[in-house]
Amino acid sequence: MSEQKNIMEYETVALDDRGPAVVILDQTKLPGSVELIRLTSAQEIWDAIYYLKVRGAPAIGVAAAFGIYVLAEGIRTEDYDAFLEEFRKQKRYLDSARPTAVNLSWALERMEQIVLQNPGKSVKEIRTLLRQEAVAIRDEDIRVCRAIGEYGLTLVKPGDGILTHCNAGQLATVKYGTATAPIYLGQERGYHFRVFADETRPLLQGARLTAYELQASGVDVTLICDNMSATVMKNGWVNAVFVGCDRVAANGDAANKIGTSAVAAVAAHYGVPVYVCAPTSTIDRNTESGDGIRIEQRPAEEVTEMWYRERMAPEGVKVFNPAFDVTDHSLIAGIVTEYGIARAPYTESLQRIFEQKGSHPLT
């Protein structure tokens, strides 16, 4: 379909009850064209997650929740045990799409708990409850991102320069984004931030997505190559780095798009604070450190051929293409959550964040 409105007016992930189906904005086509696609089968949903048609940890979680509900509607049995068995089969399949982003398994686990907690209800009633839970996950994402934005905004001042890596914007969530939430709230309040967006090799999420959505929102954004971050920091143009993440370990180590750890190391050298914007759903307290985070390996073609008219590397050359790297907690000035900002030592501050979450749920 041709673009007829601002990209920010589109829903990244939505549920179409006619069918039903998951409707996503195909991010592999941006910024060249805006296309909405309907996903109805397990294969289509899995492919959309794996091939990055929907991406960003929060958006993946919402897509997974909507997706497993859609698949549950297609389970043709009224027997609870048979329904549960097929539901778990579909859950395991979707969960295999991408291993690093914890929101995928987190959302699917929440959906499974709906089934497990209602063995006395009819399958029809369970399907209704699954839909309600999926919508709740979507709505929570909006509230969470706005709260992250409010806390993040306390870390910067009007006119500051902000650098971000990859895309942790609205296109990676339902609304506001995580790392961009302070930027969007600041934009609404006249802060006039100057944003530097790393292009983010090899998939160019910063160039194709972050620069695209920030520009569409009227933000003063400058696109830079990944290897230019040191220069803009040395020039004094960057006052803070905001990045998202796909999984935070209990000690504060954070897995984010490949190249984030390099940005953090450079920022430490120039005295620029790095803030990781992480919904509590992205914090994995069962993983002690970044050493326990499984890093997804992507196809070599993303480095050698994608985005080029002709192949830009010799045939047969070996390629190492990890999708993420882990930034050591010592390089992180703060982890911004919807319940406040965690500071080192993170094993203690993240525990307090979850205590706050337990006693005062976000509404």
Burial class (CB in 10 A: 0-12, 13-18, 19+), 248: buried
Q: Do the Cβ atoms of 60 and 255 come closer than 8 Å?
A: no
CA gap 200, 202 in Å, rounded? 6
Amino acid letter for position 298: R
Selected catalytic residue, list 95, 198, 246, 325:
246
Q: Is 316 exposed, middle or buried (0-12, 13-18, 19+ CB in 10 A)?
A: exposed
CB 243 within 8 A of CB 309: no
The 10 Å Cβ neighbour count of residue 23 is 19
Q: Compute, in degrees rounded to 10, the torsion defined by CA atoms 271, 272, 273, 277.
A: -160
Cβ distance 177 to 164 under 8 Å?
A: no
| Residue indicated by tokens 């929907």 | 54
- Omega cis (within 30) before 273: no
Q: Alpha helix locations (H) across 53-101?
A: 57-73, 80-95
The two tokens of residue 141 are: 């994402």
Report the 3 state secondary structure along 130-158.
HHHHHHHHHHHHHHHHHHHHHHHHCCCCC
Is residue 246 part of the annotated active site? The answer reads yes
Q: Which residues contact 346 (CB under 8 A, 6 or more apart)?
A: 250, 251, 252, 329, 332, 335
Q: Beta partners for 284? A: 249
Supply the residues annotated as catalytic.
246
